[in-house]
């Protein structure tokens, strides 16, 4: 995985790597130790109890009775300002404006905490998000001529081979299909290793998965999904956020929540006049 710093994160170079290279990059230096510590403390506090939450790509873990070893924390924007800072970091915004269009949105921001002994996930893609394992539900001719997803993982714990750093198959984003057993994912994959505070940015159609955590410590990350403005987001974040958060949101957060894009709209009740087209 090619690695960059906040100073060297050239959008053109990174986008070329996402589309034509390995499909994933690492970026360091975006977040301070204090930000990482705060985010981790909030996530740990919200996931100490093993209450089941909606999760994905964990069929084998469910069959083995090990779902409690992966803990999700949803609706992070409502749980601390630090998560808004992560979602709208200027370096990430600059790259993603070029990759997904200037008015891109956020489809989800959540935490994934895998405890020691956690079995990881099945290899999958997040394109446009989580249901491409049902290809018949997508249009005929579906192709990757333009990106419809980007994923960001903000590492909160050491991501090592032992702790189950995200596995991915470099170049698999060009296949635009769900991986199968015949693809020998585990024999071919590399891992997105890094230290707390590092960011893994990858094209969501790249084959990837959380690997088993065989370490003696947690393997936690903030997971952020970004989409073009017209892709229906997975998580209904505005509905889950208090009104005062929405009222005080920065322009960047309003954009990420889709509040600047009016559709779908009840056009019978919309303001009269020409609202689209050349002015």
- Residue 45 clears pLDDT 90, i.e. is over it: yes
| pLDDT of res. 120 | 86
Query: Cα 97 vs. chain centroid, distance in angstroms?
Result: 16
- Residue 61 clears pLDDT 60, i.e. is over it: no
| pTM metric for this prediction | 0.92
CATH code linked to domain 2-269: 2.60.120.620
Do residues 148 and 228 touch, judged by C-beta distance below 8 A? yes
Q: Where are the domains of the chain?
A: 2-269
- Residue 66 clears pLDDT 60, i.e. is over it: no
Report the C-alpha dihedral over residues 100, 101, 102, 105, rounded to 10 degrees.
-50
d(C-alpha 106, C-alpha 90), whole Å = 15
| pLDDT of res. 129 | 79
φ, ψ dihedrals at 181, nearest 5°? -60, -35
Residues 22-32: what's their mean pLDDT? 98
Q: What is the pLDDT of residues 69-120, one digit of tens each?
A: 788 999 999 999 999 999 999 999 999 999 999 999 999 999 999 999 998 8
- Residue 56 clears pLDDT 70, i.e. is over it: no
Choose the weakest-confidence range: 19-33, 59-73, 169-183, 199-213. 59-73
Cβ burial of 16 (10 Å; 0-12, 13-18, 19+) is exposed
Instruction: Kindly report the length of the chain.
Output: 279
């Amino acid at each position: 995985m090619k690695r960059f710093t906040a100073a060297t994160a050239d959008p053109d170079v990174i986008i070329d790597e996402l589309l034509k290279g390995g499909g994933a990059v690492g970026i360091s230096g975006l977040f301070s130790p204090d930000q990482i510590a705060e985010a981790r403390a909030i996530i740990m506090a919200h996931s100490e109890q093993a209450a089941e939450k909606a999760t994905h790509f964990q069929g084998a873990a469910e069959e083995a009775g090990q779902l409690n070893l992966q803990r999700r924390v949803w609706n992070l924007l409502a749980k601390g300002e630090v998560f808004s800072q992560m979602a709208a970091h200027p370096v990430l915004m600059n790259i993603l404006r070029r990759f997904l269009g200037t008015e891109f949105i956020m489809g989800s921001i959540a935490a994934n905490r895998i405890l020691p002994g956690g079995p990881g996930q099945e290899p999958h893609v997040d394109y446009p998000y989580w249901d491409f394992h049902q290809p018949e539900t997508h249009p005929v001719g579906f192709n990757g001529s333009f990106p419809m997803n980007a994923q960001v993982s903000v590492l909160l714990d050491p991501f090592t081979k032992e702790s189950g750093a995200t596995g991915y198959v470099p170049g698999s984003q060009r296949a635009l299909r769900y991986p199968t057993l015949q693809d020998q994912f585990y024999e071919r994959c590399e891992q997105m290793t890094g230290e707390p505070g590092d960011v893994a940015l990858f094209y969501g159609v790249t084959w990837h998965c959380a690997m088993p955590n065989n370490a003696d410590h947690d393997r936690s990350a903030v997971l952020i999904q970004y989409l073009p403005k017209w892709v229906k987001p997975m998580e209904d974040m505005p509905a889950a956020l208090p009104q005062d958060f929405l009222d005080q949101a920065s322009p960047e957060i309003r954009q990420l929540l889709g509040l600047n894009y009016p559709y779908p709209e009840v056009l019978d009740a919309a303001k009269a006049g020409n609202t689209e087209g050349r002015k």
